[in-house]
Structure 1
Amino acid sequence: MLFAMTTDGDVLLRLAGEIDDLGARLARVGTELRTVQSGAEPTREEASEQAPQEQPAAPQQPRPEQPQPQQQQPQPQVPQQPYPQHAHYQQATYAQAQARAQAQQQWQQYQQQYRQHYQQPHQHPHPPQQPYRPYQPVPKVTLAEKLSKEGAGSRLLAWVGGAVTLLGIVLFLVLAIQRGWFGPLPRVIGGAVLGLTLAGLGLRLHRTPAGRTGAFALAATGIGTLYLDAIAATTMYEYLPAYAGLAIGLLIAVGGLLLAVRWKSSLLATAVVLGCVVCAPLITQGFTPELVAFLLVVQVASTPVQLRQSWPSVAVAAGIPPLVASVFSTAFTGLGGSTANTAAALAAGAVGVTLALIVTIKRPGDAAALALLAVAPAPSLLAALFLPKTQAVLVTAAVALVLLGVWAAGQWLNGWTGDLAGAAGLLAALQTTMTLFDGSARSAILIGEGVLLALVALWTKKHVALFGGLGFAVIGGIIALAFDVPPTLFFLIRNRPDADLAAALLVAVAILAVSITLPWVAHRLGLFKAASENVVPWLFAGVCALYGAGALVLCASLLAVPGRSGFLVGHVVITVSWTVAALVLLIRGISVVGLRVIGLVLVGAAVLKLVLFDLAALDGLARVAAFLLAGLVLLGAGTRYAKLVASR
């Protein structure tokens, strides 16, 4: 009994010590949580308070004195077991505290570095994000608003004054020539001095920002005066040969354009070019080949500016006037043309094409250069219309070869350059064919070129060739319908020479070939869908093919059997061939709706031809043969078609 009580008391003492130890642990955990929350390390006082609690020991309570029994029995000694887990816990807690303190120190250093790096705007690696703003269209500026801006009135007055001054100089020169004032040499020297003076004043005014508006106008007026003086000295007074005048004009234009580039003024460059363009015809007293040559000099002089600066206004102002001047020169020359005018037209076209290619290679898609490339061949083609046949063919053929060569090299060109050159080259080739050939050969050659272009389109995958082939075929077909294989060929019996019939036979073969080739190539290139999905173009092509096939059969019959007999035999063969073609289309179109529709339409056309034409136009055995053969073919076609439909 006494032994049991002693044992229970020891157990209670150990339990009390563990409870005290647990309370000390909870106190330390609370202190650590407060330290983490406040972001500061525990002070020395807190550490000193925690130190005695690091190794709590069970309280040594005095044992109550036990009454000595009469017979003393040995009491079991309960050894006091140490608590090794408590020492390990202390070490782990201390390591964790050190780790937290080190992490907190690193975090404070990181915050300090972040503030130093991102609070300075010039060191920010990314621009600050702008707030979202809805898109608002830019309001258009009206002419009144432009004129109301500060400085607009002064610029307008300066440029208007320069234009009026230049026009006054021109009028003065014309009046001096008419009334004989001064002499030719004083006029030339005075014009040169006036031009240099105006340009010098412009250079002087440009030094101050306030005078730059007037500087632009004065410089443009002075350069225009110098250019007019050079033209007058060359073409009117003949003080200079043509090549010397061209050289001086080139130097003046280059100087004015270089000044515009230095001042970075596209308006000045455009004014320099337009001043020469407008005033030159007044001095030359009309549109002549010499005027075209002078304008080409201006165009060549503007090329470096076009390559360095993207100024479309300069390109248009320099490129279009030579072409227009050449067209007017050709119109004033009249029929028969002239060698000088033809040379000027060819030079204008060649220079325009060359400069357009140079600009488009440097800047693909330049609208001004592409426009110049498209219209550059026009003066040469127009001049060829007034020349004799041989000279005209040489001119148009040369233009076509050059442009088609550029088109063939289109794989090295970007954008629409190659296609525009190809379209212009095909137009020149069309004019060459129309000029060189006449009669039945013209339509046959045109339609044959259409077939050839369709095959070229299939090989090169270029749609321009296909559309060109369509244009050639349409023009050739219209000529053929008017002269070679007219509709009257199928209704009227008349004697035609064998040569005409042979030519008509070739034209009919060409019509049949182009009617098959064009839609097939268009389908291969993806421009046409299958006949089951797009019936209209295929039906039109089928009608053209039937027309060509009918003309082919009829011309062959007339060549084999001249006169009425050949005419009747030809129509019988045409009717039977239509029914056979309808049979083929129906059999091939078992699973294709479009082919079945075309076949049934062809059957209806054959029946209508039998009833409306063959019954009235044919007689005797020809009528009987047409009806019997067509009927037998239709019966066979119907039976075969019914079996094919039933077997599906």
Structure 2
Amino acid sequence: MLIAMTTDGDVLLRLAGEIDDLGARLARVGTELRTVQTETAQEQPAAPAPEAQAPEQATTPPEQPQQPEPQVPPQQAAQPIPQPQQAQPQQHQQVPQQQPPRYFTHPQHPQYQAQYQQTQYQQTQYQQAQYAQWQQQYRRQHPQPQQPYRHHYQPAPKVSLAERLSKEGAGSRLLAWVGGAVTLLGVVLFLVLAIQRGWLGPLPRVIGGAVLGAALVGIGLRLHRNPAGRTGAFALAATGIGALYLDAIAATTMYEYLPAYAGLALGLLIAVGGLLLAVRWKSSLLAAAVVLGCVVCAPIITQGFTPELVAFLLVVQVASTPVQLRQSWPSVAVAAGIPPLVASVFSTAFTGFGGSTANTAAALAAGAVGLVLALIVTLKRAGDAAALALLAVAPAPSLLAALFLPKTPAVLVTASVALVLLAVWAAGQWLDGWTGDLAGAAGLLAALQTTMTLFDGSARSAILISEGVLLALVALWTKKHVALAGGLVFAVIGGLIALAFDVPPTLFFLIRNRPDADLAATLLVAVAILVVAITLPWVAHRLGLFKAPAENVVPWLFAGVVALYGAGAMVLSGALLAVPGRSGFLLGHVVITVSWTVAALVLLIRGISVVGLRVIGLVLVGAAVLKLVLFDLSALDGLARVAAFLLAGLVLLGAGTRYAKLVASR
């Protein structure tokens, strides 16, 4: 109503403005006509009246348009402003004889322009007063404040549970749905009790369950014809479909009347029929109730979380796919997609270590079905939250099942999951939104588990760090930040493992006899640490995530410390390989101290105009001096100590002299 009123007011305002504009134009036309009439009368000598009138108008001083007129009250604004009357002709002897009358009525004369401007000013004042009066009258008739146009499309406020229950008819709907749930649970309990007590035979139980489910669906179809009974129709139909589905599960798993493939096909048919009925009735609540009725009571029929239960829950998920494509019902997607994954996780936990072929196959099937359905839905509706959530958690059952398997099957499972997800990530250019990035993140997690399972010892940390370098280069090539984040995660995990086992800090302080194979592995890991410490910040800078060292010193300083650690471990392990024992240890520390001073010299020279590089170079100089004083002076002895101090001192002296010349020449 308010929109219509606001629209009518705008139309009236435009109409009023157009009428006022038309009046102003008519006034100008009238003025021009009077001017033409005056000129025509002046050309005729028999009409002296205009000649006597024109000089009088010339002598009358015009009102100055610069002076503002007094404010017009709204009550008087509607009254038309009277037109100024022409001055009465005075005595002939009082009219000054200055110029011919025709000169005063010429359109280019200043006197004529002043009169025209005064007329226009009066017309504008009249229009403004008329608009103010109309606006005041409209506000008196419509006292409610006019809301902006965008407020009409604000979402409706959320209704609390208490408000929903207080509405008329809410009690009957609640009773109907609770009754349906209790009835379905009663059917399940009856089947279980009949088995325990030996009531009837297996075949009568199955037939009785099917008859009950079909009767409930039929009653629901009949009630749906009457609009007043549709709440009960929804509850009865959902209960009947759930009873039919559970009866199919019982006939397959408990009584073995049907083979597995026939039972799954029958369950698929029942679930598809129930969901299509929900689509026909346009009820997301009925669809969610059908799915929940099928999946909640199923573990009772299968007597626990088993691979067969996962298979029947996957049937429900597959049956919900057409509904998810035709209707945007997130509740149905969540209700159908999460239970198979949860059931697979519990089935793996109950199976225990060693696993089983059936449980592994069920876990892989749950992940594959969840991934495929999520991709289908995201292609249909980009950015669907339920589909993205399903995509993110789909690999979980397979990866969890691999933890309980022996090494070779576990590697095969995790590698297969990683390859599929990374292939989806590679095809991310055809996917919208976060689909490709989520698949890539899940694939990198599977690849990480594959590496951790396949390798051990020093090879594990070296491979992880190398994969971090590879992912950084992939990020530089593809411009995908997910690859860079994955490379950082791989490098951090590999670096922590290396710091604990392969390149510990004790390597720099304790002299131990280590086998050549261990030293070679340490050398390899140290080289990987040095490479990744240089590659990651460089790629991040090329992608615009890191600023230059002059603008952001902290990440570059941290990367420099890691690079120094890797370089020091590389030099020391190489020296121990070349000269075993204490001599190699002392030689390695001398080379480390000298290399630090050389690196500081390079940074100072290259950073002559870059503040960040100069700061890092000076920090490295301080670190080299501290190492000389605190470590080399006490740990080294003899010729090694002399060599370390002499070489480091000469390098620092040369660096200082060169740096001073460069600063003076600028």
CA distance in 2, matches of 1:499, 1:173: 66
Distance 1:26 1:346 in 2: 111
2:397 counterpart of 1:379: yes
- Identify the residue that residue 429 of structure 2 maps to in structure 1: 411
Q: Which runs of 4+ in 1 moved over 6 A?
A: 22-27
- Cα distance between partner residues in 2 of 1:244 and 1:140: 46
Q: Deviations over 1:362-408 (max 9, x none)?
A: 10000000000000000000111111111111100000000000000
Larger Rg: 1
CA distance, structure 2, for counterparts of residue 149 and residue 235 of structure 1: 44
Query: In the aligned structure 2, how far is the partner of 1:17 from the partner of 1:559?
Result: 125
Q: CA deviation at 1:353?
A: 0.4
Q: Corresponding residue for 1:440?
A: 458
Find out whether 1:259 has 2:277 as its counterpart. Answer: yes
Give the drift of 1:26: 12
Distance 1:25 1:157, change over 3 A: farther
**1:232 corresponds to:** 250
Indicate whether 1:605 and 2:623 are aligned: yes
Using the alignment, how far apart are the partners of 2:628 and 2:221 within structure 1?
A: 90
Mapped to 2, the partners of 1:589 and 1:133 lie a distance apart of 59
- Of residues 16, 19, 36, the one that matches 2:45 is 19
Which amino acid in 2 is paired with 1:187? R
1:636 aligned onto 2:662: no
Distance apart, 1:140 and its partner CA: 3.6
In 2, the alpha carbon distance for the partners of 1:513 and 1:321 equals: 45
- Deviation of the 1:269 alpha carbon: 0.4
Q: Deviations over 1:292-335 (max 9, x none)?
A: 00011000000000000000000000011101111111111111
SS of equivalent residue, structure 2 residue 257: coil
Select 1:334's aligned residue among 341, 352, 365: 352
Q: Which amino acid aligns with 1:590?
A: I
Q: Which residue does the alignment assign to 1:357?
A: 375
The correspondence of residues 360-509 of structure 1 with structure 2, limited to 5 A, is 360-509=378-527
Verify: 1:157 aligned to 2:175, yes or no: yes
Q: Deviations over 1:62-96 (max 9, x none)?
A: xxxxxxxxxxxxxxxxxxxxxxxxxxxxxxxxxxx
Sort the Cα spacing of 1:18 and 1:518 in 2 relative to 1 into closer, same or farther, 3 A: closer
> Which of 552, 565, 576 lines up with 1:547 in the alignment?
565
Q: Distance in 2 between matches of 1:565 and 1:349?
A: 57
1:271 alignment partner AA: A
Q: Does 1:614 align with 2:640?
A: no
- 5 Å-filtered alignment, 1:287-302, equals 287-302=305-320
Q: Structure 1 CA distance, aligned partners of 2:501 and 2:347? A: 36
1:146 counterpart = 2:164 = yes
Counterparts of 1:21-40 in structure 2, within 5 Å, are none
Q: For 1:194, which of 203, 212, 232 is the aligned residue?
A: 212
Tell me the C-alpha RMSD between the 2 structures. Answer: 1.8
Q: Could you list the runs of 5+ residues in structure 1 that have no partner in the other structure?
A: 1-14, 28-129
Per-residue deviation, 1:527 = 0.7
Cα deviation 1:453-500 (Å, max 9, x = unaligned): 000000000000000000000000000001101000000000000000
Deviations 1:562-599 (A, max 9, x none): 00000000000000000000111111111111111111
Paired residues for 1:60-209 under 5 Å? 131-133=146-148, 135=151, 139-209=157-227
Q: State the AA in 2 paired with 1:320.
A: I
**Aligned partners of 2:463 and 2:299: how far apart in 1?**
43
CA 1:144–1:636 in 2, change beyond 3 Å: closer, same or farther?
A: same
Q: Does 1:268 align with 2:286?
A: yes
Tell me if structure 1 keeps the 8 A contact 2:42–2:51: no
Counterpart check, 1:277 vs 2:283: no
| Superposed displacement of residue 338, structure 1 | 0.5
Q: 1:144, 1:377 → 2: CA distance? A: 39
2: CA distance, partners of 1:396 / 1:594:
44
> Residue 174 of structure 1: CA displacement?
1.0
Cα distance in 1 between the residues matched to 2:383 and 2:158: 26
Secondary structure of the 1:20 match is coil
In the alignment, residue 369 of structure 1 is paired with which amino acid? A
TM-score (norm 2): 0.78
C-alpha displacement at 1:141, in angstroms?
2.1
- d(CA) in 1 for partners of 2:42, 2:289: 110
CA–CA distance in structure 2, aligned partners of residues 408 and 524 of structure 1: 21
CA offset digits 1:166-216 (Å, max 9, x no partner): 111111111111111111000000000000000001000000000000000
Counterpart residue number, 1:645: 663
- Equivalent AA in structure 1 for residue 196 of structure 2: Q
CA deviation digits over 1:201-257, x for unaligned, max 9? 100000000000000000000000000100000000000000000010000000000
**Cα distance in 2 for residues equivalent to 1:587 and 1:271:** 73
Change (3 A) 1:625 1:17: closer
Letter in 2 for 1:513: V
Structure 2 CA distance, aligned partners of 1:333 and 1:355?
27
Alignment correspondent of 1:122: none
Structure-1 separation of matches of 2:648 and 2:556:
25
Aligned equivalents of 2:241, 2:492: Cα separation in 1: 52
> 1:540-562: CA deviations, max 9, x gaps?
10000000000000000000000
TM-score normalised by L of structure 1: 0.80
CA distance in 2, matches of 1:17, 1:489: 121
Number of aligned residues: 532
Corresponding residue SS for 2:297: helix
Secondary structure of the structure 1 residue equivalent to 2:315: helix
CA distance in 2, matches of 1:537, 1:591: 20
| Distance in 2 of aligned mates of 1:348 and 1:355 | 11
